[in-house]
Amino acid sequence: MLDFLGTRQRTHTCGELRAADADRTVTLMGWVNRRRDHGNLIFLDLRDRYGITQIVLDKDLSPTGHAKAEQARPEYVIAATGKVRLRGADAVNPKMATGEIEIAATELLILNDSKVPPFSPAEDAIANEEVRLKYRYLDLRRPEMQHNFEVRHKVALAVREYLSGQGFYEIETPFMTRSTPEGARDYLVPSRVHPAHFYALPQSPQLFKQILMISGLDKYFQIVRCFRDEDLRADRQPEFTQIDLEMTFPQQDTIFAVVEGFMAAAFNAVGITLPIPFPRITYDEAMRNYGIDKPDLRLPGLTDIRTAFTAEQLETLGVDPSLPVVAVRVPKVGELSRKERDDNRPLFETKKGAKLLDDLKRLEKAFPESVGKLRALANGEADDLLVIVAGDSAHHIAASDTKLAGRLSEREIAVLSAAGNLRVELAKKYADRHGAFAATEAVVGAPERAISLVDGTAAFRPLWVTDFPMFEHDVETGRWAPAHHPFTSPHEEDMDRLESDPASVRARYYDLAMNGLELGSGSIRIHRQDVQRHIFRALGMSEEEAKERFGFFLEALQYGTPPHGGIALGLDRLVMILAGAQSLREVIAFPKTAKAIDLMVDAPTLVSEQQLKELHIRPALRS
């Protein structure tokens, strides 16, 4: 029989009581985490969001309460009233915040029972992820998940407070709108009222926030959901949340200062000091030094080791001397066996015109002096893993060799990125050996951080990457495609080369990277409609197409558009870093699987014929 709550009120949470509360009469409510039956004494660990408190039911003290406790099972909902009592010295549990006390219950109510759960929120061993997602309400009861949402809440709140303090207004923009190009497929919503017409869910509020600047709102932000239909990975979800902002009359530095301010506030909110300002490098430097545009600074970069070899040696090795020759170094991994090297081969991308020389011992036999030089150049210690990545003279990819204004050519970028990706993969694989991620794990794993701020200098390595190229050459179509959304401004000095020499044009575009993840990107925007038309044209978009897709925006640009710029940061990714989570699904309450399914509510679903009819849709297929 279940009990009624009556007028009883919870006096404390399950994480609150300490030795100083001894002798108080309290009422706690929560879920049975574990139950231990010692005959006349039954122990219930009662759990809520705040912690766990031990409740003792003594048959002599409360025969009815004891009888109830006999019925209680894991995940039953309980109300316990009784006195706070100090535990005996041998029963104190230093691992629990409430471990000095217990409640000697005089009344126990069973407010609700529970089916035997498919997995126990009390267990550390984590169930299969599909089961967790199907029974998400049970999964979210786990302390680890509750912690993740505490982090998420604190981070979002700190960002809001900071931006509000800087004069930003939070303004909502529509979800049912038209396509915003961010490089993904749109989610579409059919219109009932207008047959064959669709709204698109926004890939971002990009054009709305720019229009808010045209409207003179000066500083906008929004913690906003964005929708992108793309292939999913651990760090992607079909709907995700951005910290989106836009300002009028900014320089790039103005935006960086705002972001650094709210990032420091967000980290501070979870007990970590994040030093500002963040370091900056250009895209070209990032590619040259790390082979990737979101470098993880916790690991050594690439080293240019071309000078270690003579031209003849490079030729013998089948290396293209006109392309980069770099060493990838992963500390403390040690020499790899032949089998290990073979196992690592799939980590290297062969389609980028690059080749991997991973048997340094053999190379050393042939060219001892060169390998000695290489080790010196790469600052290698004896137990470091060193491999060489270089252009493959036998395998040229279809890419441009054009190298303007001292920038990297596409072919060079391809080789460097093969090296950069290998560096990341090897670092992931040998994390236990090089230990470069340990500082981060120590900080995110530190409990009760907020009491004393932890120094996040070594654990979190933010980095601004600037001056991205404006266009990417699409080998398949032969067209220049925007490397970012097409509202990104080129550098003023590069403007006259937009059509004559697109490869050399730099964008006023920037990314914020941290620990190898891209946290956000933004740009100074185009504010002149003549330049905007020019860009559309440079992208191969006809006047009609531009008008059809962005007519409203080109129109708006004509009414006194101020210079403006902004950025958007992924809130989910930021929380993932701060919670030490391995996947976005750990920090989104109701996420979707890699197949874009919500396993709990079972969406997407088929809909009735009637609904389809109203929407003027006749499906070609039925699964």
Instruction: Out of 204, 237, 504, 561, name the contact with ligand ASP by CB under 6 A.
Output: 204
Instruction: Out of 62, 148, 173, 206, name the contact with ligand ASP by CB under 6 A.
Output: 206
Residue 567 beta carbon to ligand ASP: minimum distance, rounded to whole angstroms: 5
Q: By CB under 6 A, which span of 113-121, 151-159, 410-418, 566-574 interacts with ligand ASP?
A: 566-574
Residue 284 beta carbon to ligand ASP: minimum distance, rounded to whole angstroms: 21
Residue 232 beta carbon to ligand ASP: minimum distance, rounded to whole angstroms: 17
Residue 396 tokens read as 């040229």
Residue 129 beta carbon to ligand ASP: minimum distance, rounded to whole angstroms: 28
Three-state SS letters, 65-108:
HHHHHHHCCCCCEEEEEEEEEECCHHHCCCCCCCCCEEEEEEEE
Q: How far is 587 from 149, CA to CA, in rounded Å?
A: 7
Beta carbons within 8 Å of 618's beta carbon, 6+ residues apart? 612
Instruction: Out of 99, 380, 566, 580, name the contact with ligand ASP by CB under 6 A.
Output: 566
Give SS3 for 524. strand
Instruction: Out of 148, 521, 532, 561, name the contact with ligand ASP by CB under 6 A.
Output: 521
Which residue's CB is nearer to ligand ASP, number 567 or number 581? 567
Which residue's CB is nearer to ligand ASP, number 420 or number 565? 565
Radius of gyration of the chain, Cα coordinates, nearest whole angstrom: 30
Provide the mask over 344-383, with x wherever binding to ligand ASP is found by CB under 6 A and - wherever it is not: ----------------------------------------
Is 330 in contact with 299 (CB distance < 8 Å)? yes
Which residue's CB is nearer to ligand ASP, number 65 or number 482? 482
Total interface residues for ligand ASP by CB under 6 A: 9
- Measured from the Cβ of residue 553, the count of other Cβ atoms closer than 10 Å reads 20
Which residue's CB is nearer to ligand ASP, number 255 or number 538? 255
Report the candidate in 92, 99, 103 with the shortest Cα–Cα distance to residue 69.
Answer: 103
Residue 487 beta carbon to ligand ASP: minimum distance, rounded to whole angstroms: 8
Which residue's CB is nearer to ligand ASP, number 528 or number 613? 528
State how beta strands 239-248 and 564-570 pair.
antiparallel
Residue 155 beta carbon to ligand ASP: minimum distance, rounded to whole angstroms: 19
Which residue's CB is nearer to ligand ASP, number 291 or number 522? 522
Q: By CB under 6 A, which span of 136-144, 399-407, 565-573, 593-601 interacts with ligand ASP?
A: 565-573
Which residue's CB is nearer to ligand ASP, number 202 or number 300? 202
Report the candidate in 163, 200, 167, 156 with the shortest Cα–Cα distance to residue 181.
Answer: 200
Which residue's CB is nearer to ligand ASP, number 205 or number 380? 205
Which residue's CB is nearer to ligand ASP, number 380 or number 566? 566
Q: E strands along 39-73, which residues? A: 41-48, 51-58
Q: By CB under 6 A, which span of 214-222, 373-381, 466-474, 517-525 interacts with ligand ASP?
A: 517-525
Residue 569 beta carbon to ligand ASP: minimum distance, rounded to whole angstroms: 9
For ligand ASP, the nearest residue by Cβ is 204
Q: How far is 458 from 465, CA to CA, in rounded Å?
A: 19
Q: By CB under 6 A, which span of 19-27, 309-317, 380-388, 560-568 interacts with ligand ASP?
A: 560-568
Site for ligand ASP in 169-188 (CB under 6 A): 182
Which residue's CB is nearer to ligand ASP, number 76 or number 510? 510
Which residue's CB is nearer to ligand ASP, number 84 or number 255? 255
What backbone phi and psi angles, to 5 degrees, belong to 519? -90, -25
Sole residue written with tokens 């303090």:
165
Strand partners, 37: 42
- Measured from the Cβ of residue 499, the count of other Cβ atoms closer than 10 Å reads 11
Give SS3 for 381. coil
Beta carbons within 8 Å of 39's beta carbon, 6+ residues apart? none
Residue 206 beta carbon to ligand ASP: minimum distance, rounded to whole angstroms: 4
Any contact of residue 522 with ligand ASP (CB under 6 A)?
yes
DSSP-H helix ranges across 294-444: 311-316, 338-344, 360-366, 368-377, 410-429, 431-434, 438-444
Which residue's CB is nearer to ligand ASP, number 28 or number 519? 519
Strands of 219-227's sheet in order across: 169-170, 219-227, 239-248, 564-570, 517-524, 509-514, 462-466, 280-282
Provide the mask over 217-246, with x wherever binding to ligand ASP is found by CB under 6 A and - wherever it is not: ------------------------------
Q: By CB under 6 A, which span of 292-300, 444-452, 564-572, 591-599 interacts with ligand ASP?
A: 564-572
Instruction: Out of 336, 363, 414, 568, name the contact with ligand ASP by CB under 6 A.
Output: 568
Residue 597 beta carbon to ligand ASP: minimum distance, rounded to whole angstroms: 24
Three-state SS letters, 255-266:
HHHHHHHHHHHH
Residue 36 beta carbon to ligand ASP: minimum distance, rounded to whole angstroms: 52
Any contact of residue 489 with ligand ASP (CB under 6 A)?
no
> Distance between alpha carbon 406 and the CA centroid of its chain, in Å?
33
Residue 200 tokens read as 């698109």
Any contact of residue 523 with ligand ASP (CB under 6 A)?
yes
Q: Is the peptide bond before 143 cis (omega within 30 degrees of 0)?
A: no
Is 107 in contact with 81 (CB distance < 8 Å)? yes
Write down the number of H helices and E strands in the chain. Answer: 18, 23
Binding site for ligand ASP (CB under 6 A): 182, 204, 206, 521-523, 566-568
